[in-house]
Homo-oligomer: A and B are copies of this chain.
Amino acid sequence: MKTIKDSVHDHIEVAGVARDLLDTPPVQRLRHVKQLGTVDLVYPSANHTRFEHSLGVFHLADRALSHLSIEGRQAERVRAAALLHDVGHGPYSHNLEGVIYRRTGKYHDDVDGLLATGAVAAVLEDHGLDPGRVAGLVAGAGELGQLVSGELDVDRMDYLVRDAHHTGVPYGVVDHERLIRELRFVDGALALAAGNVQSAESLLLARALMNPVVYNHHTARIAKAMLQRATERLLDGGLSGEELRRMDDHDLLAALRADERTREDARRLSRRDLYKRGVWAELRDTPEALLDVDHERIRELEGEIAAGADAERVILDVPGRPRMTESSTRVVVGGEARSLDRQSTLVEALRTTQREQWRLGVYAPADVVEQVGRAAVGVLGLDVDGALVSDVRPGVHATLDEFE
């Protein structure tokens, strides 16, 4: 057994299959994939990696298994899945999921494949575990898969607390110890024990508060969009989607710096010399149809805006429709496990809040952002007054860290 010191959970004990998996290249690779992609451009301390997060998820899974009295091979499978749950992530993690999906048809690297071959498969088999079943757990299959990937999974508990710790934003601090102690299996599915409606709500609230301030902060979104466009240029230049998703953050940044077509993007991202917002439109100011356009149409619209503004580079950033998976968290109330959205008045309010926080963005270099904003309002058919046009205030420093 080995003990690893973690800045969030203090001492993490690693034994059995987890200990052997730790040494495999796919797990060690996660040291080089940042947890929050471009969020460090808003919160300079947010440099934590998928590796420490994976250790944290393993740790919480291990504690949950102990509280649920699940032992033996079944438990080892869950521990393996917890430690491995992010091995498929590409460079900059969720930031490039969409880009990878459009090229490979999958958001991540092929987890089944990663687990069925090489060092990981060897370790799993050494411990008598079937790679396919572990991959199933990673995908959330079965009762125990919910613990790894579901509404009440330990993934969420770790990342909320860890992201709060490293950004310095307190909103993500959930009482993960209590949540884990209160987990039960009711009718074959994970639920929180009676008396925990509020514990479940606190998990939703933590996400809802972290979303606009951290995960969807406009500066992080601008940088992410710039990274996506630059990476697409690399792909257009010959890089394959399969190669991309196996890179780590260093590989991608090195490739962006080395390629003539993306060198300027790499410089901008490295030096925090980012595009600015020409448009920042709410849902109610955005034509419904815009939410359903595909990536090709987005590129066309960018071209039209660029042409209208006589600008070279324009980015149109349309997030998906708001959704809230935690709302189906089950809590025992009056003896039966009920979905939180049936039980909690807050869920519907948070759904509304999420719709209100949705923003469409149009970004461009600072010197052209005003005309780009004006052109975009016309091309996209946005409500002129609603869509904030330009946050470039003359004389204000364009690249300063800011968290508002």
- Interface, chain A (partner B; CB < 8 A): 2-8, 10-11, 14, 19-20, 22-23, 25, 28-29, 31-32, 40, 43-45, 47-49, 51-52, 55, 165-171, 173-175, 177-178, 181, 195, 198, 201-202, 205, 209, 212-213, 248-251, 253-254, 257-258, 270-273, 344-346, 348-350, 352-353, 356, 397-404
CB distance from A145 to the nearest CB of B (A): 26
CB distance from A43 to the nearest CB of B (A): 6
Q: Which residues of B contact A165 (CB under 8 A)?
A: 7
17 A-B pairs (CB sep. < 8 Å): A2-B400, A2-B402, A3-B403, A4-B402, A6-B44, A6-B45, A14-B400, A22-B400, A23-B400, A28-B271, A28-B399, A44-B51, A47-B47, A171-B202, A195-B404, A346-B350, A348-B349
Instruction: Report Cα–Cα, A55/B40, bound state, in Å.
Output: 14
Among B29, B177, B250, B346, point to the contact of A346 (Cβ < 8 A).
B346
Majority secondary structure of chain A interface residues (helix, strand, loop or mixed) = helix
Instruction: Report Cα–Cα, A399/B47, bound state, in Å.
Output: 23
Taking a contact as CB atoms under 8 Å apart, the answer to whether B170 and A173 are in contact is yes
Instruction: Report Cα–Cα, A257/B32, bound state, in Å.
Output: 14
Scoring A19, A49, A251, A270 by chain B CB atoms within 10 A of each residue's CB, the highest score goes to: A270
Q: Which residues of B contact A273 (CB under 8 A)?
A: 23
Extra contacts, 10 of them, besides A7-B165, A44-B49, A198-B209 (Cβ < 8 A), are A2-B401, A6-B168, A7-B166, A19-B397, A171-B175, A198-B213, A202-B209, A205-B209, A248-B270, A345-B353
Instruction: Report Cα–Cα, A293/B37, bound state, in Å.
Output: 45
